[in-house]
Amino acid sequence: MTDLLTICILTLNDREQFYKRLRQCLDPQVMGKPVRIITVKDNYESTIGEKRNSAVDAVQTEYMCFIDDDDLVAMHYVDTILKMLEARPDAVGIRGMLTEGKSAPLYFINQLGYEWEAKPKRIKGQMTYLRPVNHLNPIRTEIARKYPYAILNHAEDFDYARRMAADNAISVCPLIDRILYFYQYRKNK
Q: How far is it, in rounded angstroms, from Cα 69 to Cα 183?
A: 10
In a domain, 100, yes or no: yes
> For strand 63-66 and strand 139-140, is the pairing parallel, antiparallel, or unpaired?
antiparallel
65-99 pLDDT, tens digit per residue, is 999 999 999 999 999 999 999 999 999 999 999 98
Q: What's the helix, strand, coil split of the chain in %, to 5?
A: 30, 30, 40
> Do the bridges between strand 93-99 and strand 175-184 make them parallel or antiparallel, or are there none, so unpaired?
parallel
The domain spanning residue 153 has which CATH number? Answer: 3.90.550.10
CB burial string 104-133: b at 16+ within 10 A, e below: eebbbbbbbebeeeeeeeeeeeeebbbbbb
State CA 152 to chain mean position distance.
17
Q: Give tens-digit pLDDT for 146-161.
A: 999 999 999 999 999 9
Concatenate the DSSP letters of all residues of 122-180 into one string.
Answer: EETTEEEEEE-S-TTS-EEHHHHTTSPPPS-SSSHHHHHHHHHHHTT------EEEEEE
Domain that holds residue 71: 5-184
Q: Is the pLDDT of residue 25 over 60?
A: yes
Q: Is residue 96 part of a domain?
A: yes
Contact indicator for 173, 143 with CB cutoff of 8 Å:
no
Determine, yes or no, domain membership for 189.
no
Across the chain, mean pLDDT equals: 94
What is the band of 118 on the pLDDT scale with cuts at 50, 70, 90?
Answer: confident
**Does position 36 have pLDDT exceeding 70, yes or no?**
yes
Q: How many domains does the chain have?
A: 1
pTM, whole model, 2 decimals?
Answer: 0.95
